[in-house]
């Protein structure tokens, strides 16, 4: 584990621990307060499990008033708060602090209203992403953003991280699909941003808090829009003799005026790994595969499939299969979705990176990653949300070999720096958290960061809400840690990750 | 008249603002002067950004365009058109409303006002299409956020905060917008002579099918007359639904809807591609209120409340058009009827909506609120945000709210 500088511990708060625990019992049912060491342990980390820290106390409030009273009390008494949804985040956004109250939203687990007429769902933030779709699919509706951890991640956490999924190019990320929130600020003020209407006036506070990683307020209610499921969905599985050809094919599809629902590229090491693991039936004699998913009306999808087929041929595809039914389409995805566990099978440990790059830079970035792989002496496999440019290199290493984790982290940081160099960004969907915090100055200068810290001040002038996350504490660039998986023992290893 | 400064580079903008900040001189930021929108403010200096113009980079296959903030929107659209692409939030040409002739203004102005056209409920608003920006805050510092990619959670999404902030947080210098392929075909299903309630029901039913409509508006009989389209019956109310995409798919979906609304078969007709495009262009550009001398407001409501709202004012001197599948009402009231204006606002608040005064004579702009915000906590937070960018409140001071 790398050394991580976190905000200074407030000893006076820790000295008052017993009194604070007692006081908190005034604001919620005492059974919602967890202060014994054993009870606290499950909250010591999120899915970035290389980093652990037990909080001072865990509180699981049940309603907005309780959240408001707890925050107000903590604000008045200078006690730090770390909010937490399902704890599936990959960047350490919910990592506790030794002197914090960890505020878990797990009891906010009810869908409050399904409103088909206004095409929205009002829900508590602890409800899982997939439950939203489950709640409306009987009427043919769904909630569009589909992060890979959707069976477990909460909608509140999705808003904190602005989660995406494989369909972001066509359907947007969380920010394009959330209509309103009820939010509690650090001083206990309760506010509503947005609602069942399409937009709000004044500053776009809803847009600002989406993706703010729990630094600006605590969500207690969420309104999301729901969409009608497309009539038809089909996919093509394409193979190429070079990554360049697959990347060019993606560019040509988009230049040809087609916006597929999803596009995914896997490189040769990953194809081999997933095929050995999931027996997905991918072609083995290709350097890259590309999955293209198209949706719309039946005839529209058929036309688009034909066009994509032509574009693929022009780009020298050597393998082409079109899904005949939904079962086959899902099989195309099966291997892709098995990417992470497959790598876990091949290597005792791996780190997952999450940069976004301009699509046309894919081949260049992959070449650089191969070079870096040789330089650092570690294997790597790559999957790429080609539609939206989000790249997930999986760096393989063995933590039992001294210095390999450090080497892997250095390799990861080098990849992210290169992503920024070619015009991309540090993180597409996992968030900055603590993981990429110290790389922020690769993208922003002091003035940019200061402006963002000033915005934070407007919401939380004492900087008590989730401090130490997203923005560098020491204003210097260092290599951060990454999602670290040891012996396939990733936190929530049953949750799909892609 | 304020002293006008028209810089042609970002650092000139920064130096100018830094200077004004040190002397606490308020600045009104302008572009192409196409939209006299917001509260009426008076500043001793005016910062005009129209010389900050030009396309910095445009990569059709990457689906983005990076431009300087003063670039004419019309120029950007013409450039995109060459590659068969567009801004899919359909920016409105507000020139018709304000001046009776086309003037789309600058891209910076469009971002500052976050105005989106008829496709908004399907494609998102302008705020959903901004990927990044550079601008100068009230201290004269260059601030930037976002990038050129759609998936990005690196730091706060300041681009969204800037969009619709009416120049009160930064003077924009560069903007990155997402672009999309143009739709091959546009057709419009029309139902004549039904009331708003039925029209809203048609919108709602259509959106509960998989046909993917991308326009849904209602013109009451007294408003439909302004159209001059051969295939359009303008003697009664018009309910219009747009379908876009590959031609074969559009035809198929039009037929699906025709069947679904069989009960109206006597009054159903279809506008083909050419006229369909003109119909929606006219609607998006508010040509029904061409050069209005009156007060024009934009009302946003949850769509189920729209009929109740209109019913309440049916007998008043109110002209209106409903767009965005019932989410938006454009309304015009006589310029001297401040009682009606306030009644509208009260009712909008009751029905969980908000109202923005888009156009009004100066004597109305001086005394009437521009926005509706009633939550004092939001105003307090907005003020703190304003101060985090512009501590001396010199950028467009008071443009949105008094004191912000």
**Measured between beta carbons, which residues in chain B are less than 8 angstroms from residue A426?**
154
For residues B373-381, give the mean pLDDT. 91
A300–B contact, CB cutoff 8 A: yes
Is residue B280 domain-resident?
Answer: no
Q: Nearest CA to B204 among B307, B348, B349, B311?
A: B307
Per-residue pLDDT at A492: 55
A63 in contact with B at a CB cutoff of 8 Å?
no
Q: What is the pLDDT of residue A51?
A: 87
Across the interface, which of A116, A117, A255 has its CB nearest the CB of B60? A255
Residues B307 and B218 placed together within one structural domain of the fold: no
Top residue of A136, A162, A183, A204 to mutate, by most chain B CBs within 10 Å, is A204
Sign of CA dihedral B345, B351, B353, B358: negative
From chain B, pick out residues whose CB is under 8 angstroms from the CB of A436: 154
CATH number at residue B192: 3.30.70.2190
Domains and CATH numbers, chain A: 11-104 (3.30.43.10), 111-228 (3.30.465.10), 232-337 (3.30.70.3450), 346-486 (3.30.70.2740)
Of A117, A426, A458, the CB nearest to B204: A117
Q: Which of B156, B251, B298 to mutate to test the interface with A (most CBs of A within 10 A)?
A: B156
Domain for residue B257, yes or no?
Answer: yes
If asked whether residues B176 and B259 sit together in one domain, one would say: no
Indicate if B194 and B266 belong to the same structural domain. Answer: yes
Chain A residue nearest residue B301, CA to CA: A197
Question: Which residue numbers in chain A have pLDDT < 70?
Answer: 1-3, 474-498
Contact list, B127 vs chain A (CB under 8 Å): 199, 204, 207
Partner A, chain B 125-144, Cβ-Cβ below 8 Å:
125, 127-128, 137, 141-144
All residues at 6 or more sequence positions from B152 whose CB lies less than 8 Å from its CB, including other chains: A356, A425, A427, A428, B131, B146
Contacting residues of B for A231, CB less than 8 Å apart: 210
B374 touches chain A (CB under 8 A): no
Range of the domain at B258: 185-273
CB-closest option in A198, A357, A452 to B156: A452
The predicted-structure confidence for B235-254, as pLDDT tens digits, reads as follows: 999 999 999 999 999 999 99
Please state, for a pLDDT cut of 90, what percent of chain B lies above it: 94
Shared-domain flag, residues B319 and B300: yes
Place of tokens 């999602």: A483
- pLDDT tens by residue, B264-315: 999 999 999 999 999 999 999 999 999 999 999 999 999 999 999 999 998 8
Domain co-membership, B108 together with B190: no
Q: Does B121 touch chain A (CB under 8 A)?
A: yes
pLDDT tens readout for residues A252-266: 999 999 999 999 999
Q: How far apart are CA A490 and CA A103, in angstroms?
A: 23
Tell me, yes or no, whether B245 and B388 share the same domain: no
Provide the pLDDT for residue B14.
98
Domain boundary among B273, B297, B323: B273
pLDDT at A493: 56
Q: Does any domain span residue B291?
A: yes
B99: in domain: yes
The CATH number of residue B137's host domain is: 3.30.465.10
The answer on B220 and B154 residing in a single domain is no
B344 and B384 in a common domain: no
Q: Quick check: B155 and A440 CB within 8 A?
A: yes
**Where in B262-318 does DSSP place strands (E)?**
268-271, 295-300
Residue A50 pLDDT: 80
Same domain as B297, residue B258 = no
- pLDDT per residue over B208-237, tens digit each? 999 999 999 999 999 999 899 999 999 999
Establish if B281 belongs to a structural domain.
no
What pLDDT, on the 0 to 100 scale, is given for residue A476? 45
CB A55 within 8 A of CB A100: yes
Q: Is B366 helix (H, G, I), strand (E, B) or coil?
A: helix
**ipTM of the prediction:** 0.96
Helix (H) or strand (E) holding B274: helix B273-284
């Amino acid at each position: 584990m790398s050394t991580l500088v976190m905000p200074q511990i407030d000893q006076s708060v820790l000295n008052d621990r017993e009194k604070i625990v007692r006081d908190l019992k005034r604001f919620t049912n005492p059974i919602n307060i967890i202060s014994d060491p054993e009870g606290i342990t499950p909250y010591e980390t999120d899915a970035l499990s290389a980093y652990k820290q037990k909080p001072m106390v865990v509180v699981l409030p049940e309603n907005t008033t309780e959240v408001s009273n707890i925050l107000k009390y903590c604000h008045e008494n200078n006690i730090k708060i770390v909010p937490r949804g399902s704890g599936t985040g990959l960047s350490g956004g919910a990592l506790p602090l030794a002197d914090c109250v960890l505020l878990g939203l797990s009891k906010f687990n009810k869908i409050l209203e399904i409103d088909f007429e206004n095409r929205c769902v009002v829900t508590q933030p602890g409800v899982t992403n997939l439950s939203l779709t489950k709640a409306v699919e009987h009427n043919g509706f769904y909630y569009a953003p589909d992060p890979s951890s959707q069976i477990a991640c909460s909608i509140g956490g999705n808003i904190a991280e602005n989660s995406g999924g494989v369909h972001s190019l066509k359907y947007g990320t969380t920010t394009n699909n959330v209509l309103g929130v009820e939010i509690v600020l650090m001083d206990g003020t309760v506010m509503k941003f947005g609602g069942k209407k399409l937009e709000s006036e004044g500053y776009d506070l809803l847009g600002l808090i989406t993706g703010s990683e729990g630094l600006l307020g605590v969500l207690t209610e969420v309104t999301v829009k729901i969409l009608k499921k497309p009539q038809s969905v089909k996919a093509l599985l394409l193979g190429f003799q070079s990554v360049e050809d697959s990347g060019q094919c993606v560019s040509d599809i988009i230049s040809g005026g087609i916006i597929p629902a999803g596009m995914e590229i896997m490189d040769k090491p990953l194809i081999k790994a997933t095929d050995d693991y999931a027996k997905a039936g991918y072609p083995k004699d290709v350097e890259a595969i590309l999955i293209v998913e198209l949706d719309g009306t039946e005839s529209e999808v058929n036309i688009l499939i034909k066009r994509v087929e032509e574009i693929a041929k022009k780009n020298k595809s050597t393998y082409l299969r079109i899904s005949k039914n939904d079962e086959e389409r899902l099989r195309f995805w099966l291997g892709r979705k098995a990417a992470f566990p497959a790598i876990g099978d091949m290597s005792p440990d791996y780190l997952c990176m999450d940069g976004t790059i301009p699509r046309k830079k894919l081949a260049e970035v992959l070449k650089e990653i191969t070079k870096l792989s040789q330089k650092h002496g570690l294997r790597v496999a790559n999957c790429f949300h080609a539609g939206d440019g989000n790249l997930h290199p999986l760096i393989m290493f063995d933590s039992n070999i001294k210095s390999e984790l450090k080497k892997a982290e250095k390799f990861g940081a080098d990849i992210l720096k290169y992503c920024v160099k070619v015009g991309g960004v540090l993180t597409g969907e996992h968030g900055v958290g603590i993981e990429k915090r110290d790389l922020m100055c690769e993208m922003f200068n002091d003035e940019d960061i200061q402006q963002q810290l000033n915005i934070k001040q407007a919401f939380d002038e004492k900087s008590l809400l989730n401090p130490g996350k997203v923005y560098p504490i020491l204003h210097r660039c260092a290599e951060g840690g990454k999602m670290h998986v040891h012996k396939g023992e990733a936190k929530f290893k049953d949750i799909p990750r892609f | 008249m304020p002293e006008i400064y028209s810089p042609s580079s970002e650092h000139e903008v920064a130096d100018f603002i830094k200077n004004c900040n040190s002397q606490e001189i308020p600045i009104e930021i302008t572009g192409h002067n196409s939209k006299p929108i917001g509260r009426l403010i008076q500043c001793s200096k005016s910062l005009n950004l129209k010389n900050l113009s030009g396309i910095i980079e445009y990569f059709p296959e990457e689906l983005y365009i990076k431009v300087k903030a003063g670039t004419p929107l019309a120029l950007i659209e013409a450039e995109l058109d060459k590659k068969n692409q567009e801004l899919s939030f359909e920016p409105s040409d507000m020139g018709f409303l304000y001046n009776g002739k086309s003037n789309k203004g600058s891209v910076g102005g469009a971002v500052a006002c976050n105005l989106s056209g008829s496709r908004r409920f399907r494609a998102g608003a302008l705020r959903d299409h901004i990927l990044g920006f550079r601008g100068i805050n009230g201290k004269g510092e260059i601030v930037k956020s976002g990038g050129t990619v759609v998936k990005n959670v690196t730091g706060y999404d300041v681009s969204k905060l800037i969009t619709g902030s009416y120049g009160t947080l930064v003077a924009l210098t560069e903007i990155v917008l997402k672009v999309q392929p143009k739709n091959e075909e546009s057709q419009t299903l029309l139902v004549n002579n039904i009331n708003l309630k039925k029209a809203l029901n048609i919108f709602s039913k259509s959106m509960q099918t998989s046909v993917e409509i991308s326009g849904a508006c209602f013109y009451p009989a007294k408003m439909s007359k302004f159209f001059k389209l051969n295939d359009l019956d303008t003697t009664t109310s018009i309910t219009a639904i747009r379908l876009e995409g590959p031609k074969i798919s559009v035809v198929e979906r039009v037929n699906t809807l025709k069947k679904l609304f069989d009960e109206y078969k006597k009054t159903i007709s279809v506008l083909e591609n050419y006229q369909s495009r003109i119909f929606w262009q006219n609607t998006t550009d508010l040509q029904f209120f061409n050069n209005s001398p009156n007060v024009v407001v934009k009302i946003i409501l949850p769509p189920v409340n729209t009929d109740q709202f209109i019913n309440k004012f049916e007998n008043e001197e109110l002209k209106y058009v409903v767009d965005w599948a019932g989410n938006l009402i454009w309304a015009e009231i006589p310029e001297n009827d401040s009682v009606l204006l306030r009644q509208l606002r009260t009712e909008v608040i009751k029905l969980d909506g908000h109202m923005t005064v888009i156009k009004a004579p100066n004597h109305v702009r001086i005394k009437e609120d521009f926005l509706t915000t009633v939550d004092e906590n939001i105003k307090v937070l907005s003020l703190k945000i304003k101060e985090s960018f512009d501590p001396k409140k010199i950028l467009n001071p008071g443009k949105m709210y008094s004191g912000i």
